[in-house]
Structures are given as structure tokens and as C-alpha cells.
Amino acid sequence: MTPALHAEWTKLRTVAAPRWLLLGSIAATVALSAAVTSVVTCTSAGCGGDVTRLSLIGVQIGQAPVAVLAVLVIAGEYGTGMIRTTLTATPHRITALAAKAVVLTGSVAAAGTVAVLGSLLAGRLTLPGRGFTDAHGHPALSLADGPTLRAATGSILYLILIALFSLGVATVLRDSATGIGVVLGLLYLFPVLAQVIGDPHWQRPLQRIGPSVGLAVQATGDVRGLPIGPWAGLGVTAGWAAATLTAAALLLHIRDA
């Protein structure tokens, strides 16, 4: 396993695309969060708003570069034919896939931590100036607050799970363009359909089954009113990741390179 990890880490750090995608994820996450928190206002005591979730809204777009990176980690090798070299160097195919998953997890965890902390810092700095103050019932954002810490930690875990989900999809499809299209479609289609469909009979299931429902972990207020609980939502995302990785491992084992 160690040689396979070293090989995957070498490939990831010596190619420009992964670095730019990780930096892009950080920049997109923090920029969107900062933009949103700089325009919202709270003009009176008791004004609504989940300031933690608001500060972490950038994760919704920051997940896209993470998904693209995860797809390219293996689908890119199928496109260039390098997958044959990888599997020759690591004949045990499940080990090769596991090594990619471990290196991807570490990289996304590091980038996700920077992105999430940057977003919370942006919210802490800008929200008081927009009226979200103690006087209005909104204390400054702090990781010492249990729900905020859970939202921050959960957001990082969510990005990791999206990366693993995307890796699994890409391994099954073996094509970069198709993999990216399928992953981004699944991530963003369910929330859009849930908004478009007005019938609660169909709307609620759509709000509870997509891979992006793990973003519910960011909620810190009115949790009981959510279509799905914070940790339950993250569990659904984990289920998508586990299912695609299981299918990926099976197909990688039985198919020709």
C-alpha cells in the first residue's frame, strides 16, 4: 500500500491541474461566502437567518472543483492510457483505487479546512457590520459554539465525501467529460428540481435523497424544520459515496483496463 500511496501522491503534486482545482475550490468557497455575507442585513432584534449556514454557503459552489478533481484523478488516466501503467505497477486493483481515495481524501481535507475556516472568518468579519450583532440576537461566529463547530466539521467531511463519490462515478464511467457531467448533474439537479416542483408529495423526497443533501449539516437553527437532519443528511451523502466506490471496486476488479 505504501508504494501505491507514494505514487498517487507524486502524481497529484507534480501535475498543475490538481493544485489549481484545489485552489479554485478554496477561492470559490470563500469568495461566494464573503459576497453573500457582505450584502445581507439585519436591521432589528430577532431578525431571522442562520448566520453559520449563511457563512458556509460558498461550499455549494466550492464542491464543483473538488468533484472535477476527483473525476480527473482516475478518468484522466483512462483518457491518456496511463491507467495501464498504474495497474501494472499496482497489480492489486483495489489497492490502487484505495490509494487514490486516501490521497484524494487528504488533499480535499486540507483544502476544505482552509476554505471552511476562511468562509467563517469572512462571516465573522462582515456580518456584525451588516447588523448581525449580539444586540440583535446574533453573537459573533465562533468554533467554540457547538452547532457552528459541527457545521464547520461537517462541511469538511461533506467535501471529502463528494470527492469520494466523484471518484467512484469516474471509475465506473472511465471518461472525464461524462463523469464530470454526471457528478455535477446529480449534485445540482436534485436541489433545482426540489425548488421547481411545487407538490410537497414529490418535493420532500427530492430534498432527502440527492448526494448534496449532506449540506444540511451546515444548519444550526430550526433543525427540526429541515427536510432531513444534519447528520442524517451527511449520512445520505456517505451512502452515495459508499455505493459508487463499491461499484467502482467491483468493476475495476472484473473489467479490462
CA distances to 63, 158, 185 from 192, in Å = 16, 19, 10
For 123-159, letters b (16+ CB in 10 Å) and e give: bbebbbebbbeeebebeebeeeeebbebbbebbbbbb
Average pLDDT (117-125) is 92
Q: If you average pLDDT over residues 158-164, what whole number do you get?
A: 97
When the pLDDT of each residue in the chain is averaged and rounded to a whole number, the result is: 87
Q: Which residue has the cell 453573500?
A: 36
- The structure's pTM equals 0.92
CA–CA distance, 252 with 247 (Å, rounded to integer): 8
Q: All 3 cell numbers of residue 161?
A: 465525501
Contacts of 240-244 spanning 24+ positions with Cβ under 8 A: 240/161, 240/165, 240/186, 240/211, 241/161, 241/162, 241/164, 241/165, 241/168, 241/211, 243/168, 244/164, 244/165, 244/167, 244/168, 244/169, 244/171, 244/172
Looking at the chain, the whole-number percentage of residues with pLDDT higher than 90 is 47
> pLDDT band at residue 136, thresholds of 50, 70 and 90?
low
The pLDDT assigned to 158 comes to 97
Sketch the domain layout of the chain as residue ranges: 2-254
Whether 4 shows a pLDDT value over 90: the answer reads: no
Q: Produce one character per residue of 211-250: b if its CB has 16 or more CB atoms within 10 Å, e if not.
A: bbbbbbbbbbeeeeebbbebeebbebbbebbeebbeebbe
The CA-atom distances, in angstroms, between 59 and each of 56, 77, 119 are: 6, 27, 9
Reported confidence tier of residue 106, pLDDT bands at 50, 70, 90:
very high
Question: pLDDT per residue over 189-248, tens digit each?
Answer: 888 877 777 666 777 777 778 899 999 999 887 777 778 888 999 999 999 999 999 999
- Mean pLDDT along residues 179-193: 89
User: Which range is least confidently modeled, 72-76, 105-109, 150-154, 188-192?
Assistant: 188-192
Confidence check: pLDDT of 103 > 80? yes
Report phi then psi at 250, rounded to 5.
-65, -50
pLDDT value at position 95? 87
**pLDDT confidence bin for 72, thresholds 50/70/90:** very high
pLDDT given for residue 222 in this prediction: 75
Q: What is the mean pLDDT of residues 126-150?
A: 79
Burial class (CB in 10 A: 0-12, 13-18, 19+), 3: exposed
